[in-house]
A = this chain, B = another copy of it.
């Protein structure tokens, strides 16, 4: 299998190239009788789409999603839900000049070696544009998780380059173009991104996602642990180079007495583990983070090669984000939601009859 399907019980099969006719996906396994219209999915697409502020790429994409199947009279029927996003902005002349060359740190070179051929227009299949369909599919999962369990999956930008950004206020996230949860930092970010753009450079970012109101018991014990599947989902987002659950890489420096999340009948005393123990959700908030590399599509020239293997100097023009990590927030939320929904369905396949004698203790987001 060529890896364009995600999930086992709730399966998303993605297709489409950046500058082709359309991108889209088929969502298989959604339970019937969920109320669903395009209006449920469009808001997250709008959060991800380019051109919404001067701090992200100025490419214009409407990203209007249509539901082609699987919904009848406003409710899911249990059959596959096909989602389609037509590519309005297919002009590829921007890319003619890079047709014969490989952009450094892009998939171009590896694609040609792997397939012998590539669709050079805007990166084709390797373009982050493909993530729009994940956001759309994730919207279905988000809605189902909310209705079924009350789960909320929310993300924010926790770091842009050298600037670490605290989670102060969830409601602030949607009110600035940086998905920043600390409104006091927004002017500083505006200035930083402006200066980057004028320098012809880009910068990395860190995004965190939190799922609250988690049920206990999601995840399978060995290979398909909940954290392992989250890592699969999140590392599969374009430009992501690191994934953390809870304290993440910092645990390498911690002691057992610091890290262990002690339990009391009133709940957990801490959440260093990010809501997962032994690969299974504990009922605490699920907390995970990703690091997104700085895009190498920058105007500062760099060394590269062409299709014949000869040296070239490469300078990306066109309409690019100075910090691609910003728009990764809805994508990361979507991937987390897809994993949770898949595991919720898998869990009940095997364990629908289970009644645990031990009472569930409250989770703790601390």
Integer count of this chain's copies in the complex: 4
Choose among B15, B160, B216 the residue that contacts A82 (Cβ–Cβ < 8 A). Answer: B15
A253 and B204 within 8 A (CB): yes
**Cα(A295)–Cα(B169), bound, Å:** 33
Q: Please state if B15 and A69 are interface contacts (CB–CB under 8 Å).
A: yes
Interchain CA distance A141-B219 in the complex, whole Å? 23
Known A260-B302, A264-B303, A346-B1; judge A201-B295 contact (CB<8 A): no
Question: Size class of A's contact patch?
Answer: 35 or more
The answer to whether the Cβ of A33 comes within 8 Å of any Cβ in the partner chain is: yes
Given contacts A125-B221, A221-B125, A225-B235, whether A204 and B254 have CB atoms under 8 Å apart is: yes
Q: Let me know if B4 and A110 touch, CB within 8 A.
A: no
With both chains docked as a complex, state the minimum distance between the C-beta of A285 and any C-beta of chain B, in angstroms.
Answer: 15
Which residues of B have CB within 8 Å of A355? 116
Starting from the known contacts A2-B78, A3-B28, 13 additional A-B residue pairs (CB-CB under 8 Å) come to A1-B29, A13-B28, A14-B223, A32-B351, A32-B354, A72-B117, A77-B115, A109-B277, A204-B251, A227-B236, A228-B231, A249-B291, A262-B303
A and B contact pairs by CB, cutoff 8 A, 30 listed: A1-B29, A2-B11, A3-B28, A5-B13, A5-B223, A6-B223, A13-B26, A22-B82, A33-B354, A110-B217, A113-B217, A113-B358, A114-B280, A115-B354, A125-B222, A201-B255, A204-B252, A204-B259, A227-B235, A228-B232, A230-B235, A231-B232, A231-B236, A241-B246, A251-B292, A251-B293, A256-B294, A265-B305, A265-B311, A305-B361
